[in-house]
Structure 1
Amino acid sequence: MGPLDGLVIADFSRVLAGPYATMMLADMGAHVIKIERPGIGDDTRSWGPPFNEQGLSTYFAGVNRNKKTVEIDLSTDEGREQARHIALTADILVENFRPGTMQRMGLDYKSLSKDNKGLIYASLSGFGSGEGADIGGYDLMVQAVGGLMSINGEKDHPVKVGVALVDVLTGLHMGMGILAALNARHATGKGQLIEINLLHTLLSSLANQSSAYVGAGVIGTAMGNTHPSIAPYQVFSTKHGDLAIAAGNDSLFRRTCDVLRMPELVTDERFLTNSDRVAHREELAAIIEDALQEKTAHEWFEDLRRAGIPAGPVNDIQQAFQFAESLGLDPIVEINGMRSVRNPINFSDTPVEYHTAPQKLSNQSFQ
């Protein structure tokens, strides 16, 4: 029995942010009813290749396990009434239609909360329900207008992150908001409306970069694999393969120098403190990279690991899973013959569950 056992979620969301959040909650025991368009379903059902052995888009399959799919035509009075019935029996509703859409269908928070006072209604948008309501919220363009591309990649060549990271972060933030609202409901008996948008989430998640601008007026720029405030904290080439070294404090720097057999760097006035090392980053990087040519990335990883230094080879995704398996983390689970990525949260008493693989459309209407 999961920690959210007994809770019912009406999931009107599509694509990634909402479905990712509801899958995480479903893994924890919530009963998620995913409402999809008859015969078409979630947009990501057609986002392929690749498709898995069962014929499902791996994009869709990656965020829709542990859910019950029902097909409802929300363009009809009958469909909207069916959806309303589900919403009125739910504890939580998640939606990411364009602002105003759910209101036009009579499925907005104000309408539903009259008859379901405990309803927690999580509304997700790209740019809020005000002046940005007309702007489509796809992850690519949010990374662009939200500043993430400007600090990613190499100088003068803005690059998106290789996964829809803003969607994932927004889904996680929304899930946290839902759990907070559930706790508040225990005290008051009342639900509430939660609004979250992709742009706000990105600006918050830029963390030190956004804080540097807000607090000091510093506008970050793309720096490749280096860090604006720490050195050495970047990727280096080796005899074979690339190696990431994250020597984030003076102690780690001293130990890195010992492993590289260059103790003289510790007392070099250019590198005495982190601020010194940041000021002379390029000089330091050139010295370290030259020393790293003696061994491969994997050989250096073993040496640095023994010294307690955060470092590791740059893996592809297959190698990343193999690395996790070598650490005993078991990153893959199998659900009814379908492989899925394990939920990263481990509970001591109420473990996550994997009971339903992502469902195919049945071409049957809601029953």
Structure 2
Amino acid sequence: MDFPIRVFEKWKMVCLKCGLVQKVSKVWRCKCGHPLTLITRMEDIQLDPLILTERPLSLWRYREVLPVVEKSIVSLGEPLTPLIQLDLMGLESCFIKLDFLFPTGSFKDRGSSIMISAAKLMGVKEAVEDSSGNAGASVAAYCAKAGISCKVIVPSYASGSKLLQIRAYGAKVVVKGSRSDAANLAMQEAKKGTFYASHVWNPFFIEGTKTFAFEVWEQMERKEPDVVVLPAGHGTLLLGAYKGFLELKELGMIENLPRLFGIQAEGCSPIVDRLHGGSESEGSSHLAEGIMIKDPPRLDEMVKSIVETGGDALTVGDHEIKENWKKLAEKGLFVEPTSAASLAGLEKLMKERLVDRDESIVVPLTGSGLKTPQKIARLIS
């Protein structure tokens, strides 16, 4: 089915590796084998801050910078997630963004809502995704809302509670070996013509996660924070934050980009390895499987987003994650352990004096504790 290309006339698909530029389509990978990125023609974008105050409190209030049209929107009522100030570590301005309060319980709904809306606009009937949990549940939910048949291919170690959620939305679940085995099988199906609703490869997904930056800007009285500390596995939130703040700067809404810090798990830290010439430590995380990605396809982009903003990346261990998960719970915030990695990272950044106490800092909490009840039961026992 043809789709109205005019909808995408303000965007182009670009390979940041080889420089290939092409029109927007269902294609998810460049001929050179690297991921594609959607680039917005910012000179054609007009975003009036005054108009925003009249719109519903939803990520769709930023529709001028989103590659969708109103008739194709697939929504489950995505809110502007709360940004709350917490008294932590003696910091003067530490803000926690509650991205686990999205409809399916994780920040992945930012990306899925825009990606599946674009899929609907392009006439997609079938979609495939590979995921170890949260992304699969999110894609399955939005496909269900859009009436798109969905298959989610998961590795053998995927959480039982997350598999239950995926199946509840009516998606077909296929269990396939390792994380790379699941991805390879999904790619094989995508090559046959099935829409690849990948939270990693599909460029529309990052168009959704960039709304994180727009929300933070608006919630901080139309200013940028000094620092944003994010979990970094495949890097979809990190890259979305970078793209969003970059677009805000190009629109003249902010003067500077916040420093972005990527937090990774000990024993699986490709960004840290790239930046610092080797792993900071050895080991394997049992609490942060959501960011245990050894070979992320967008690694070059993640490193660039950190370097260009003057940020950095570091690792945290399970003990640090556990202690910071408890701190959050004591503040009334029930998240899955992977979410606590960012707060653990902030604590380490403070100790290493990479962040000053008087800076404004934003830390997203990315997944609900309801996602991993068995793991949390072990934490508190």
Query: TM-score, normalising length from structure 1?
Result: 0.22
Larger radius of gyration: 1
